[in-house]
């Protein structure tokens, strides 16, 4: 990773800070690292592998954001993309647009992701309903919904781990 105040450490995946950094710079560095971990070609086999990166990217967003991680047949990341942006407590999600994007990416599977600006990652009934609609719509195109992860400042909740899928 390139940043003017960081140099690669002696151990792979470590960095050394070469000059004082502000809190804002630390958050920016963390977000860049998280985006790299969700970059093309990375393999995601368990929800926990994505939790910390998604939390860094979404926990401080002041409005609801609905995103997706599009995966190939080996569950390697094709693309992580924000699809819909909403208000402080909801975002309109259109299954047709999710299907179009998944097909455009030639995706075999999808991990749905959205944040709760309130901080509480507990899924709502509306979250469960849209997940079911998306699962059905994507299923018609033989695209599997592997998980739906809700991100809050208090943690992340996996629909797959909860048995909701």
pTM of full prediction above 0.95: no
CA dist., res. 102 & res. 82, Å (int): 12
The confidence score (pLDDT) of residue 39 equals 66
- CATH tag, 43-162: 3.40.140.10
Percent of the chain with pLDDT over 90: 56
Residues 12-53 pLDDT 10s: 777 777 777 777 777 777 667 766 766 677 776 666 767 878
If residue 68 lies in a helix (H) or strand (E), which one and from where to where? strand 65-71
SS3 54: helix
Boundaries of CATH 3.40.140.10 in the chain?
43-162
pLDDT at 108 over 80: yes
User: What angle in degrees, to the nearest 10, is found between the helix axes of 125-140 and 95-104?
Assistant: 50
Residues 34-43 pLDDT 10s: 667 666 777 7
Sequence-distant (6+) residues with CB within 8 A of 63 are: 85, 86, 87, 88, 91, 117
């Amino acid at each position: 990773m390139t940043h003017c105040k960081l140099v690669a450490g002696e151990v792979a995946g470590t960095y050394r800070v070469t000059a004082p950094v502000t809190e804002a710079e630390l958050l920016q560095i963390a977000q860049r690292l998280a985006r790299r971990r969700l970059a093309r070609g990375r393999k995601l086999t368990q929800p926990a592998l994505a939790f910390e990166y998604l939390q860094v990217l979404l926990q401080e967003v002041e409005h609801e954001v609905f995103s997706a991680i599009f995966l190939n047949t080996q569950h390697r990341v094709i693309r992580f993309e924000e699809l819909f942006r909403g208000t402080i407590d909801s975002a309109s999600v259109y299954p047709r647009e999710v299907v179009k994007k998944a097909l455009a990416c030639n995706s075999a599977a999808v991990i749905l992701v959205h944040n709760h600006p309130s901080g509480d990652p507990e899924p709502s009934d509306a979250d469960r309903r849209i997940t079911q609609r998306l699962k059905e719509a994507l299923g018609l195109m033989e695209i599997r919904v592997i998980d739906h992860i809700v991100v809050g400042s208090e943690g992340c909740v996996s629909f797959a781990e909860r048995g909701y899928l």
